[in-house]
Each structure stands twice: as C-alpha cells, then as structure tokens.
C-alpha cells in the first residue's frame, strides 16, 4: 500500500513505532496533492481551470506542515509521545481561524485576513501531533451545498467525476479526503455541510452533537446550529479525530461539559441488541417546484432507498432489531424553518464585517463611515451572503417576526420533539443522507431554493442538535458514491460510530469498497 | 409567484443591511428572496398549539451538561499590535475610519 493510502490510525501507529517518519508521510501526501489537486482557488480565479483536477485547497501551508512533522519526529527521537494524531496529515476547512494563516471563509471580505489566533478544534489537533497541510475551500461563509459560491476559484470538484460538485459546504474537506490528499479533515455542519459532501465524495463525515466540539475560532454562520466535526475515509479515523477535538472549552460557553468517552474503545462491539429505526418521512422529499410554484412530494430515488434497506438487513443479520415506520412527521418543515432561523443568525453574525477592524475595506467613492460600510459590503460579499443578510433582516423585522421567526422557532420545538419521541422507541435512526448523488457543476447553482433542498434529510438533525453521520454505502449507476445516515440521541456518538463500523465490516467484501475515485488513477 | 417583497420593501432591506446593489443584482436577489418566502410559507401549514414553546437551540442546557457562567472580568490581550495588524487603517494604536455622519435623533 502507498503511504498516502494509509488511514490516520495506521499512520500514527507506524510513526509512533518508528516504522515511518512524519516527514516521509508528509512528503507522500504532498506528492499526492501535486499529482491530483491542481491550482488552488484564488480570488477572481478561473472556475474552468484544469477541469480534471480536484482543487481542494485555498492555502497550502507546506512549510508550516514541514515544521510540525519535524517536531513530531524530534519528539519521538527524544522518547516523548507526540499524541494520538502523531504525524497525521490533515486539512482544515477555511472557516476556522489558524494563527498567522489566511483564514478567508472563501470570501473576498476576508481574503486578506490573517487570523491572530487558532480555533480550539485545530489547536487540539495540533497538540495531538497532527500535521496541518492547509486550508481547504468551501462555499462562501459555508453558504451552499456545492462549493460553487466560493470567491476562490476554481472551486473543488468531485474526485469521482470532476464535472460534478463535491457537495458542500465542506466540499474541499470531503474532496481532499476522497482524493487521498489527507486521511482526515476538519469540517463544519450547519444543515448537512459535513454529511452531504461526505455522501457525495464517498467518505465518512460526522456531525457531532451541538456543543460536543467547541466553536471557538469558527467563523460563525448559524450560531445555534454550527457543529465542527471530522471527515475521513474510515469510521475508525473519525472516532480517532473526535477523541481529540471533543470536549468542554472555557472559551465557548455552549461547549458541553459532558465527559468524552474513548470513541475507539467500543467501536468493534457490534450492533447486537440495538434498535435501529426506519422512518417513512426520510424516504421522501418535499420540495418547492420553481416553475409550478407548488410544493411537490416525491419518493427518494430507489438507489438511495435500497442502500438503506440493504444496510438494515445486514445490521439485522448482525443482531440489531429493525423498527419500521418510526414517525418523524415534521421532517418536511426542516428546510422552511431553516430558511428563517439560519438567515436571522447569519445576518446578525455578518454585521461584524464592516471594513473597520479587519478584512476588506472599499477605497473609492467613500464620503463617510456609512458609505464605507455599504461599499465595503457591496464589493466584498458575494450573492449568497447578501441573500442571507436580506432574508434575515426581513423575517426578523418587528412586523414580520411573529409570522416568520417566532413561528420557525416553534416549529423547531416540534422537530426536536420528533427526535425525542423516536429515541424513546429506538436507539438510532437509519436514513439516506441525500436525495440525490453529486449533481453536475452548474446544475443547481443560481437557484437558491432548490440548492437548499439538498439538505432536506440532514437539516432536521441540526435543528434538534442531535449527532449524525454519513457513511459510504455504494455507487450508483453513474459510478457516483451514495451515503447512508445514522442519527442518534444527544451525545450518542459512540453508538453511532459503533453501528457505522458494523456496517463497514458487513460490507468489506463488496466490490465498491475497493473502488477508488478516477482522479486518483 | 410570490411578490411579498416589493421593490420598496426590498430597497428598505438593502438600506438596513448596509448594502448597495447594481440593478441586475437587485433583480436577481429580490426574485430569490420571494422564491424562498414561498418555501417558507409552508410553515403556515404546521398546526401549532398555543403552548408550543420557541426553541432557540436543540440540545437542552442543564447544569449537568453546561459550564457555570464565568465571571465577567476583562483581561489584557497579550499582543494588541497583532490584532491591529489586521485593521485596514490605523494611527498610533487607533483604528482610523472615515468621517462619522451626524444624525439628529
């Protein structure tokens, strides 16, 4: 096996046992990046540049990575333990602050921003011996499901078919892991932004319970919804990374003080006795049809449904009890409620970008402070942030907030109640992750409504705050990955990871498990 | 197609949002907002008991799972110059901005 194909667990074990050096591992991954990634995204770059490459990166920090790898090797030479991620190369979604590196949020307004501090999740990975290869691309401020809205072009492409999107918003994270550029990436999930790109790129992506991982140093979108989490090629690697990043943080009052179990400890213990629920509401999608102006309900494609049913059968054969017809009656309202709640939170969070303290400032046509604000924000925000600010202002305005914002927050109570009642009956829910596999670049972009519905099966978990994971479950007839999702009660990441690992074992002989993205050939 | 957000309402939102838009941008964004509102209007279909509470977050905060509220005290930053390095214009430790317009309230 080639070095860049090793898992994070294998890398840390081989480095700790001195079979490999961290620098050798780094070189192998930098070599893979040179081979498959192509040019990094740049401001006003050409979206069509090198259409057969992945383009996961905005900023490759090879020198910083070299210093970190050397430090790991020196620690080992001195007889010290560098930590559980010893020498493991990782990428960071460019929505996290990393000290003295560009931290852009894929927006022109932060293109010149060098963070003066490091996010907690990143700091914990560095302290555990991880080697950070750089910052990877995303939708501008995470606002999207395809990465096409990034101000840094070319945007990432799907390693399984580079004419298709990698999903989003953690598209650079998922693409970099799928293309064997790194075994681990740190992403964020506000409506599905870890799980959807993980499904599209055929990798594992976990959204932990809200508050399980600190948001300190994460550039905020929806503060009541945002969850940092791992992306990896194996379930065990996500468990390993969650061990490192989870836990209380005095710098984030919303980070839970719940003790962090060892997510690797019971990973192989199987699903015997677990009750796993299937919900009819997760086998259909309701979406707003732009031409007819009507809401339409359709079943999810058979390939998605069958992947879930096949997984249920395999888990049943391993001793799980499958419970059908678990009612989740408010699932379809997840997107409309999200259209309101996330916009209000985004508009509030985006008011800090004003050209005064950091980031872009407009230079011409400025008469006073107010015109500087307007011109700065007009010139440096793309259409997606502008849309979110405007909608957030509208639905929270005094005369509309009862009709929209308060109503959405009350519907959120019902979405949470669906999960509370379901988890009174079952330990986990098993669902498709997405209503489709990766769509073509240009296929949806521009239609902000249809794009949002890509998150229909993932967003209820964000409203409720519960943890979820997407794991690879095969390829469709176009050779594109499909994902299945487990959802569980608050702080049940250990159970979710155990069930995911059981499915991985149950499918390890399948031909699709051996398939690799064509871009890596 | 919904026209809840008329050009007049839209222009007011643009002002509140501290933005400036080209006519083309404004037309596209207003259309998208009205499309989104049509999707949002689906919420009016949800039967809500008067006692259904608002949920500003999903996971409950309890003393067992949350850190106690910390003391509200200030600490000097170890390196203010590093923070100021990101500012577009500074002068001797101050951030410089264009003239602040006077407004009678």
Tens of pLDDT, residues B44-81 = 999 999 899 999 999 999 999 999 988 899 999 999 99
Q: Is A93 a catalytic residue?
A: yes
Note whether B52 contacts A: Cβ–Cβ < 8 A: yes
Instruction: Check residue A1 and give its pLDDT.
Output: 80
With a cut of 60, say whether residue B17 has pLDDT above it. yes
Closest to A464 (Cβ–Cβ): which among B58, B85, B87? B58
Tokens 């951030």 locate to B95
Shortest distance between the Cα of B67 and any Cα of chain A, in A, equals: 6
Nearest neighbour of A404 by CB, restricted to B16, B40, B66 = B40
Q: Dig out the tokens for A317 from the structure.
A: 């054969």
Q: Which of A169, A236, A279, A500 is catalytic?
A: A169
Q: How many domains does chain A have?
A: 1
Domain B7-45: which topology? Histone, subunit A (1.10.20)
Determine how many CB atoms are found less than 10 A away from the CB of residue A479.
13
Q: CA of B79: which chain A residue's CA is closest?
A: A116
Closest among A144, A141, A14, A134 to A62, alpha carbons compared: A134
Residue B53: the pLDDT is 96
Instruction: Write down the pLDDT at residue B70.
Output: 87
How far apart are alpha carbons A347 and A281 in whole angstroms? Answer: 31
CB contacts under 8 A, A 86-115 vs B, are: 113-114
- Which pLDDT band, with edges at 50, 70 and 90, does B1 fall under? low
- Give the pLDDT means over successive 10-residue stretches in chain A (521 positions): 96 98 98 98 97 98 98 98 98 98 98 97 98 98 97 98 98 98 98 98 98 98 97 98 97 96 97 98 87 85 97 98 98 96 97 97 95 98 97 94 95 98 98 97 88 92 98 98 98 98 98 97 89
Domain-located, residue A391: yes
Indicate which residue of A14, A93, A108, A135 is catalytic: A93
Residue A396 falls within a domain, yes or no? yes
Three-class SS string for A244-309?
HHECCCCCCCCCCCCCCCCCCCCCCCCCCCCEEECCHHHHEEEEEECCCCEEEEEECCHHHHHHHH
Q: Is B6 on the interface with A (CB under 8 A)?
A: no
pLDDT digit string, tens, across residues A282-297? 999 988 776 777 888 9
Q: What is the pLDDT of residue A290?
A: 66
Sorted by sequence, the CB contacts under 8 Å of residue A286 that are 6+ apart come out as A295, A296, A297, A332, A456
Q: Do A406 and B54 touch (CB under 8 A)?
A: yes
Q: Do B42 and A295 touch (CB under 8 A)?
A: yes
pLDDT tens for A391-449 read 999 999 989 999 999 999 999 999 999 999 999 999 999 999 999 999 999 998 888 88
**Residue A356: inside a domain, yes or no?**
yes
pTM of the model as a whole: 0.97
Q: Which domain holds residue A379?
A: 335-405
Nearest to B57 among A114, A224, A354 (CB): A224
Annotated domain spans of chain B: 7-45
**Which residue of A336, A357, A416 is in closest CB contact with B58?**
A416
The pLDDT assigned to A295 comes to 83
Query: Strands A227-232, A284-289: parallel, antiparallel or unpaired by DSSP?
Result: unpaired
Please write the tens of the pLDDT for every residue from A124-154. 999 999 999 999 999 999 999 999 999 999 9
Does B72 reach chain A within 8 Å, measured CB to CB? no
CB contact A150 to B (< 8 Å): no
What's the pLDDT tens digit per position in B19-36? Answer: 999 999 999 999 999 999
Question: How high does pLDDT run on average in chain A?
Answer: 97
Residue carrying structure tokens 């003080």:
A257
The chain B residue lying nearest A417, using CA atoms, is B58
DSSP 3-state assignment of A145? coil
Contact A513, A471 (CB under 8 A): no
For tokens 């170890």, what's the residue?
B78
Q: Tell me what ipTM this predicted complex has.
A: 0.95
Residue A351 lies in a domain: yes
pLDDT at position B101, please?
A: 85
Distance from CA of A344 to the nearest CA of B (A): 11
């Amino acid at each position: 096996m080639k070095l860049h194909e090793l898992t994070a667990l294998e890398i840390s074990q081989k480095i700790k046992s001195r079979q490999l050096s961290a620098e050798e591992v780094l070189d192998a991954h930098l070599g893979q990046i040179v081979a498959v990634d192509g040019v990094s995204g740049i401001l006003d770059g050409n979206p069509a540049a090198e259409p057969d490459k992945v383009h996961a990166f905005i900023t490759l920090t090879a020198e910083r990575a070299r210093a970190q790898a050397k430090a790991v090797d020196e620690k080992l030479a001195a007889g010290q333990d560098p930590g559980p991620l010893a020498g493991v190369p990782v990428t960071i979604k460019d929505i996290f602050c990393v000290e003295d590196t560009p931290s852009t949020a894929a927006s022109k307004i932060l293109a010149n921003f060098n963070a003066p501090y490091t996010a907690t999740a990143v700091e914990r990975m560095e302290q555990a011996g991880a080697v950070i290869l750089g910052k990877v691309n995303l939708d501008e401020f995470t606002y999207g499901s395809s990465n096409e809205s990034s101000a840094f072009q070319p945007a990432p492409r799907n390693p399984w078919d580079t004419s298709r999107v990698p999903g989003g918003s953690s598209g650079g994270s998922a693409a970099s892991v799928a293309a064997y550029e790194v075994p681990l990436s740190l992403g964020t999930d506000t409506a599905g932004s870890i799980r959807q790109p993980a499904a599209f790129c055929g990798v594992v992506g976990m959204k932990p319970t809200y508050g399980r991982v600190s948001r300190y140093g994460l550039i905020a979108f929806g503060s009541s919804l945002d969850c940092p989490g791992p992306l990896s090629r194996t379930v065990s690697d996500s468990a390993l990374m969650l061990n490192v990043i989870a836990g209380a943080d005095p710098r984030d009052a919303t980070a839970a003080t719940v003790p962090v179990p060892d997510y690797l400890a019971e990973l192989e213990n199987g699903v015997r006795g677990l009750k796993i629920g299937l919900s009819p509401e997760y086998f259909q999608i309701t979406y707003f049809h732009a031409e007819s102006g009507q809401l339409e309900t359709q079943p999810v494609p058979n390939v998605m449904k069958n992947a879930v049913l096949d997984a249920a059968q395999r888990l049943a054969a391993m001793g799980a009890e499958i419970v059908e017809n678990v009612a989740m009656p408010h699932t379809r309202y997840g997107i409309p409620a999200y259209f309101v709640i996330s916009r209000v939170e985004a508009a509030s969070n985006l008011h800090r970008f004003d050209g005064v303290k950091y980031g872009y400032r407009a230079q011409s046509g400025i008469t006073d402070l107010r015109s500087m604000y307007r011109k700065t924000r007009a010139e440096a925000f793309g259409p997606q942030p502008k849309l979110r600010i405007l909608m957030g202002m509208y639905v929270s305005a005094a005369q509309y907030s009862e009709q929209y914002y308060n109503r959405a927050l009350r519907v959120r109570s019902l979405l949470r109640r669906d999960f509370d009642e379901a988890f009174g009956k079952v330990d986990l829910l098993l669902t498709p992750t997405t209503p489709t596999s990766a769509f073509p670049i240009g296929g949806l972009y521009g239609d902000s409504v249809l794009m949002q519905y890509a998150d229909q099966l993932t967003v209820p978990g964000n409203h409720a705050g519960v943890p979820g994971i997407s794991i690879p479950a095969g390829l469709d007839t176009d050779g594109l990955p499909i994902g299945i999702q487990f959802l569980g009660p608050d702080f049940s990441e250990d159970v979710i990871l155990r069930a995911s690992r059981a499915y991985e074992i149950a499918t390890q002989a399948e031909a699709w498990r051996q398939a690799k993205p064509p871009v890596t050939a | 197609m919904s026209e809840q957000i008329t050009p007049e309402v839209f222009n007011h939102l643009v002002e509140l949002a501290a933005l400036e838009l080209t006519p083309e941008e404004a037309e596209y964004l207003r259309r998208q907002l009205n499309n989104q509102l049509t999707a949002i209007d689906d919420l009016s279909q949800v039967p809500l008991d008067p006692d259904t509470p608002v949920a500003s977050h999903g996971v409950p905060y309890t003393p067992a799972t949350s850190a106690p509220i910390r003391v509200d005290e200030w600490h000097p930053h170890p390196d203010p110059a590093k923070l100021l390095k990101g500012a577009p214009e500074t002068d001797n430790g101050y951030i410089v901005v264009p003239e602040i317009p006077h407004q009678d309230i």
